[in-house]
Amino acid sequence: MCNGIMSEKTRPFPTHVGIIMDGNGRWAKAHGVPRVMGHNAGMQAMKKIVIASSNMGIKYLTVYAFSTENWKRSTEEVSGIFNLIVKYVNSELEELDENNVHINIFGEYDMLPKASIDAIDKMVGRLADNDGLVFNIALNYGGRDEILKSVKAIAEKCKSGELNPAELTEDDISAYLYSGSTKFNVPDPDLIIRTSGEERMSNFLTWQAAYSELMFTDTLWPDFSPEEYAEMINAYANRDRRFGGRKE
C-alpha cells in the first residue's frame, strides 16, 4: 500500500484520471477575497494532486484548466488566470522536471497572451523527453471543438485519398484528437472527478469519456486534498466496469 492506495497488482487501478477543477470562484467568495485569489488557491491544490498522482503511480492525469466557454468571464478574471499560468511555470518547472513529469496541452493555447504562450512553450519543451507522469492540461479546450477539429482533419484526408470514408473506425477519430496525437498516446480516462458539487461534464473529454467512471464531491477545488483524492481512487477499485456488457 502506498499513500492509502492498494497496489495496482492487487486491485483495479486507474491508469488515466481526469479532473474538472471546479469551485475556485465560490471558494474565493466564501473567504471574502477576489476571484483570482481563488484561482491561485486552486493552483496550489493542483500542484498537490499532481504530486499525489505521481506518487500513487497514476500514469496519465488530465485537468480542465480553462474551457472555450470561460472567455465569457470578466477580463480581470481571465487575465488573472493567464498570469497564474506564467507563475505556475516559473515556480514549478524545476520540480516537474526533477519528478520526470511530461506535459501536454489539450486546446488552442495560441489565443492566450504572449507571456502565457511563451511560458507554456518553455514548459512543454523542457519536459518533452520526460516519461513519468503524463500531465495533460486542457487549456482553451472544448470537447465538441476537439471532435470538430478531428472530423475536419479526417475529411481533408478523405478528400486527398489518404483515407477511405467507408473504412473509418473509432480509432481513426481518436487518433486525430489531442489525446491521440501526443508523443504518448493517451488512453481514455478510467475515472473522471468533478469537485464543488456540480454533476455534469461541461464539455470535458466528450469523446474519450464514453465509458469513464464518474465521481463527484461537494468539496471546492482549492480544498480538495490528496487524502480525499486517495479515497476516490480506492472507491474506484470497487466499481464494476462492464463497458456495456454484463457479468455472467
The model's pTM is: 0.92
pLDDT confidence of residue 7: 44
Residue 248 lies in a domain: no
Residue 151 lies in a domain: no
Residue 24 lies in a domain: yes
Residue 150 lies in a domain: no
Per-residue model confidence as pLDDT tens digits over 180-194: 999 889 999 999 999
pLDDT confidence of residue 126: 97
Which residue type sits at 80? G
pLDDT confidence of residue 188: 97
Residue 70 lies in a domain: yes
The secondary structure of 18-81 as a DSSP string is EEE---HHHHHHHTTS-HHHHHHHHHHHHHHHHHHHHHHT--EEEEEEEEGGGGGS-HHHHHHH
Residue 225 contacts residue 52 (beta carbons within 8 Å)? no
Beta strands at 191-194 and 16-20: parallel, antiparallel or unpaired: parallel
Report the CATH number at residue 40: 3.40.1180.10
Which residues, listed in sequence order, are joined to residue 85 by a DSSP beta bridge? none
Residue 20 contacts residue 205 (beta carbons within 8 Å)? no
Q: For residues 54 and 227, what is the distance between their CA atoms, to the nearest angstrom?
A: 14
Residue 207 lies in a domain: yes
pLDDT confidence of residue 196: 98
Residue 233 contacts residue 13 (beta carbons within 8 Å)? yes
Question: Which residue numbers in the chain have pLDDT < 50?
Answer: 1-3, 6-10
Residue 23 lies in a domain: yes
Helices 35-56 + 75-98 axis angle, to 10 = 30
What's the structural domain count of the chain? 1
Residue 18 contacts residue 193 (beta carbons within 8 Å)? yes
The secondary structure of 106-125 as a DSSP string is ES-GGGS-HHHHHHHHHHHH
Residue 3 lies in a domain: no
pLDDT confidence of residue 8: 42
Give me the sheet containing 213-216, strands edge to edge: 102-106, 134-141, 60-67, 16-20, 191-194, 213-216
Per-residue model confidence as pLDDT tens digits over 8-55: 444 588 999 999 999 999 999 999 999 999 999 999 999 999 999 999
Active-site residue set = 22, 70
Domain range holding 135? 16-142+188-234
The dihedrals phi and psi of 63, each to the nearest 5 degrees, come to -115, 145
The number of residues making up the chain comes to 248
